[in-house]
Structure 1
Amino acid sequence: MLIATKEIEVRYAETDQMGVVYHANYLVWMELGRTHLISELGFNYAELEKEGIISPVIDIQASYKKPVRYGEIAIVNTWIEEYDGLKVTYGYEILTQDGEVSVLAESRHVCVKKDSFRPISIKRKYPEWHEAYETHKKRV
């Protein structure tokens, strides 16, 4: 299982009045982690979009454990939790700079044609992505 790690320097604009990262910003960090994982697998999500394929979120779960604050470094670990040739679930662990768990999350996606939102089979249309996802997904 491949785990991609991305460090993020927390900016002031990402915090709320309590001085902690606003909860919705973790979703943005998950996207950064996902994009980084895809890149580490040797692919480019922007190229997929140029071909008229997008990958919307169809479900997201997040459990907030410990806040991250302005000026700290957040560490986003991302992996392929589940994959079946059509849908993919990414797992996330966001850590504080001290290595404590801040957020545990999952997001589920399906690839669709941008113009019609009709699902496509990654397995059939992108066999190289399929093979990489099969090879690097979490083993139970």
Structure 2
Amino acid sequence: MLVSSKEIEVRYAETDQMGVVYHANYFIWMELGRTQIVKDLGFNYAKLEEDGILSPVLDIQASYKKPLHYGEIAVVKTWIEEYDGLRFTYGYEIYNGDNELAVTGWSKHACVKKDSFRPISMRRKYPDWHEAYEKAKKQN
């Protein structure tokens, strides 16, 4: 199983009045994690979009364990939790600079045609992505 890692310096604009990272920013960081794992696998989301393919979020979840603050370093760990050739689920853990778990979560996606939003089979349309996801996903 491949686990990608992305460091993020917590910016002041990402914090709320209490001085902790505002919850919605973790979803943005999850997107950065997804982009990183796709890069680590040798692919590029922008290339999909050039081909008229989008990868919308179908469902997303986060559990907050420990707050992160301005100036800290967040480390987003991302892996492919599930993949069936059509839908995929990414898993996430976000750590603070002391390697303490701050957030866990997951997001579910599919690839769809931009013009119709009809799902596509990654197995058929992008066999190289399919093979890479099969190899990289979490083994049961």
Give TM-score scaled by structure 1 length.
0.99
Question: What is the CA-CA distance between 1:10 and the residue it aligns to?
Answer: 0.3
Question: What is the CA-CA distance between 1:68 and the residue it aligns to?
Answer: 0.3
The unaligned stretches of length 5 or more in structure 2 are none
Cross-structure match for 1:18: 18
Cross-structure match for 1:35: 35
Cross-structure match for 2:103: 103
Paired residues for 1:9-88 under 5 Å? 9-88=9-88
The unaligned stretches of length 5 or more in structure 1 are none
Cross-structure match for 2:2: 2
Give deviations 1:37-82, integer Å, cap 9, x for gaps. Answer: 0000000000000000000000011101100000000000000000
Runs of 4+ in 1 over 4 A off after TM superposition: none
Question: What is the CA-CA distance between 1:118 and the residue it aligns to?
Answer: 0.3
Q: Residues of 2 paired with 1:77 and 1:104: CA distance?
A: 10
Q: Residues of 2 paired with 1:77 and 1:132: CA distance?
A: 18
Q: Residues of 2 paired with 1:100 and 1:139: CA distance?
A: 25
Q: Residues of 1 paired with 2:97 and 2:115: CA distance?
A: 41
Residue identity (%): 72
Tell me, what secondary structure is at the counterpart of 2:132? helix
Give deviations 1:67-108, integer Å, cap 9, x for gaps. Answer: 000000000000000000000000000001111111000000
Total equivalences in the alignment: 140
